[in-house]
């Protein structure tokens, strides 16, 4: 009889499986993920300057300061192709707010619970960074076409509400008949519509790329889940989409990961087919998709360096 594998062996095998899944995903999408320099100090300084001028950098916990470098990495990788530096700074500050919310409000949910109401009534929030976030959301209308901006704002409000949803359902057991729920809640939390539409310069007509949005959302949401899974699994998290899908389907987490990789790869192919008739939209997506991967590799929070990709 073969000896039982110990926890360390099982963990090592899991790491190999995750690494192989990620490499397969990147290989299918033909993404060169070793080319991104996210250390542009000049751009980071511009982000700090803009945040300071808007009053976003404060003393104490309610400050955006520690989260701006992460936002700058997103802008420098996923959106380096955009020509308007104002839009790149907006994306950096938007992302910094998103990281702040994700880190701070997993437990302290009161300020998030009233965010939508306060935003709609233009009343102050219970947290100064949420005031900053409201300001940044309104800036979207000044930088993008009206249809795209409306979608981005509704997506952002859903993203904030998803934090409250996750908190209020933290002890909820997933029914085996609720197979679509994990993806529903994941789409809500990811603000994927916003990050997809950020990729296209305002000079590109909406009709050139809007049909690709649903597929692009799959690429972004699945891609984030694929690239976040190693960190989440290493930290023992059990409320991520892969864990919830495994619980509702009876599949193993690795099987679910493989399924998400296949879906993301197909979505990437579909986006390219949809956009191929618009040179500007096609090139914008190709540059974004490579940079989107570069963001996850560059940000230490995802711990992907440990997989030696």
Domain count along the chain: 1
Task: Give pLDDT, residue 296.
Answer: 86
Backbone Cα Rg of the chain: 19
Mark 231-255 as b/e (b = at least 16 C-beta within 10 Å).
Answer: bbbeeeeeebbbbbbbbbeeeebbe
Task: Give pLDDT, residue 1.
Answer: 47
Task: Give pLDDT, residue 39.
Answer: 66
Q: Which domain, by its residues, includes 211?
A: 7-21+33-307
Burial class (CB in 10 A: 0-12, 13-18, 19+), 54: middle
Task: Give pLDDT, residue 2.
Answer: 47
Task: Give pLDDT, residue 15.
Answer: 84
- Domain assignment present for 1: no
- Domain assignment present for 27: no
- Domain assignment present for 179: yes
The H-assigned helical ranges of the chain are 7-28, 41-53, 68-78, 85-104, 110-113, 115-121, 128-143, 146-168, 181-190, 192-198, 213-234, 241-249, 253-275, 279-298
CA–CA separation, 73 and 262 (whole Å): 27
> How far does the chain reach from its first CA to its final CA, in angstroms?
35
The pLDDT profile of the chain, 309 residues, written as one tens digit per residue, is 444 556 677 677 788 888 899 888 888 888 776 555 556 889 999 999 999 999 888 776 778 999 999 899 999 989 999 989 999 999 999 999 999 998 887 667 888 899 999 999 999 998 889 999 999 999 999 999 999 999 999 999 999 999 999 888 888 888 888 888 888 988 898 899 999 999 999 999 999 999 999 999 999 999 999 999 989 888 888 778 898 889 888 899 999 999 999 999 999 999 999 999 999 999 999 999 988 888 888 778 888 888 877
- Domain assignment present for 2: no
- Domain assignment present for 15: yes
CATH code at position 262: 1.10.600.10
């Amino acid at each position: 009889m073969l000896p039982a594998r110990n926890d360390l062996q099982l963990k090592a095998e899991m790491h190999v499986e995750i690494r192989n899944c990620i490499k397969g995903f990147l290989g299918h999408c033909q993404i060169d993920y070793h080319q991104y320099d996210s250390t542009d100090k000049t751009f980071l300084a511009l982000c700090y300057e803009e945040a300071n001028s808007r009053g976003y950098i404060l003393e104490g916990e309610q400050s955006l300061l520690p989260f701006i470098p992460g936002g700058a990495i997103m802008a420098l990788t996923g959106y380096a192709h955009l020509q308007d530096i104002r839009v790149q700074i907006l994306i950096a500050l938007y992302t910094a707010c998103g990281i702040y919310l994700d880190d701070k409000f997993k437990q302290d949910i009161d300020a998030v619970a009233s965010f939508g109401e306060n935003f709609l009534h233009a009343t102050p929030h219970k947290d100064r960074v949420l005031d900053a976030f409201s300001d940044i959301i309104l800036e979207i209308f000044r930088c993008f076409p009206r249809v795209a901006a409306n979608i981005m704002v509704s997506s952002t409000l859903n993203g904030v509400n998803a934090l409250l949803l996750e908190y209020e359902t933290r002890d909820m057991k997933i029914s085996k008949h609720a197979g679509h729920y994990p993806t529903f809640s994941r789409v809500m939390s990811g603000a994927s519509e916003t990050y997809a539409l950020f990729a296209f310069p305002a000079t590109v007509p909406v009709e050139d790329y809007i049909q690709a949005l649903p597929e692009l959302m799959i690429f972004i949401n699945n891609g984030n889940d694929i690239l976040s899974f190693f960190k989440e699994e290493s930290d023992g998290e059990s409320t991520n989409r892969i864990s919830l899908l495994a619980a509702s389907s009876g599949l193993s987490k690795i099987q679910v990961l493989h399924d998400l990789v296949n879906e993301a790869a197909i979505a990437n192919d579909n986006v390219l087919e949809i956009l191929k008739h618009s040179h500007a939209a096609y090139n914008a997506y190709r540059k974004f998709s490579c940079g989107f991967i570069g963001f996850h590799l560059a940000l230490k929070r995802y711990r992907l360096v440990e997989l030696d990709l």
